[in-house]
Copies of this chain bind each other. A is one copy, B any other.
Amino acid sequence: MSSPDKGESSEATAVLGDDLIRVVKLLHAVRDHAPRRHPDVDTSAYPLLFQLKDGPLRLSELAPRIHAEVSTVSRQVAALVDLSLIARGPDPDDGRAQALSLTPAGEELLVAIRNGRDRWLRGLLVQWSPADIETFSHHLQRFAAELDADLMDKTRRTDS
C-alpha cells in the first residue's frame, strides 16, 4: 500500500480489471436514470428486442443469446407480446415452435432506445477525438470477441 509497485508489468491487466468492473457498475447505475422510452417496458426487455432485430428467432434460440433460462425468457416474451411489441408467428418447420419477431411498434421502440442511447453516448464523449472513439470502439469490439470465445469455451466444458 505504501509503495506503489507500478514497476510490475503484470499490473496492467490488474488495473484494467478494476476499471472494467467499475465501468460495469457505473453503467448499471446509470441505467436506472435513463429515461423511459415506453412506460411498461423494463430495461430487462431491451436485450430481447435487440436480438430480434435481425430477424425472427425461436424462443429456444433467443434464451441462450441473452444468457438466461428458457422459462424466464418465456415470461418476458409473454409480457412483450401483450404489449404488442413482439409477435408470435408460426414456425414453418415445427408446429411446436414459434417464430418471434418484432412488430412495427417493437421496431419503433428499438430505434427510439438506440437513438436515445446514442444521443447520450455522444454527449458523454463530446470531448473525445473521433480517433479515440474509433480506437476505443475497436478495442471494445475485440475484447467482446475474446470474452465470447472464453465464455463459449467455459460453457462447452461445463456441458460435457
CB within 8 Å of B: which residues of A? 9-10, 12-30, 33, 47, 50, 66-67, 114, 117-118, 121-122, 124-125, 128, 130, 132-137, 139-144, 146-148, 150-151, 154-155, 158
Sort A-B residue pairs by CB-CB distance and give the 6 closest, nearest first.
A26-B147, A29-B67, A136-B139, A13-B121, A16-B137, A33-B154
Assess the A121–B16 pair: CB atoms within 8 A: yes
Residues in B neighbouring A147, C-beta threshold 8 A: 23, 26-27, 30, 124
Docked Cα-Cα span, A137 to B20, in Å, equals: 8
Docked Cα-Cα span, A19 to B29, in Å, equals: 18
Docked Cα-Cα span, A10 to B142, in Å, equals: 21
Q: How many copies does the complex hold?
A: 2
Residues in B neighbouring A135, C-beta threshold 8 A: 135, 139
Chain A contact residues: helix, strand, loop or mixed: helix
| CB contact under 8 A between A13 and B144, given known A29-B67, A139-B135, A151-B29 | no
Assess the B10–A118 pair: CB atoms within 8 A: yes
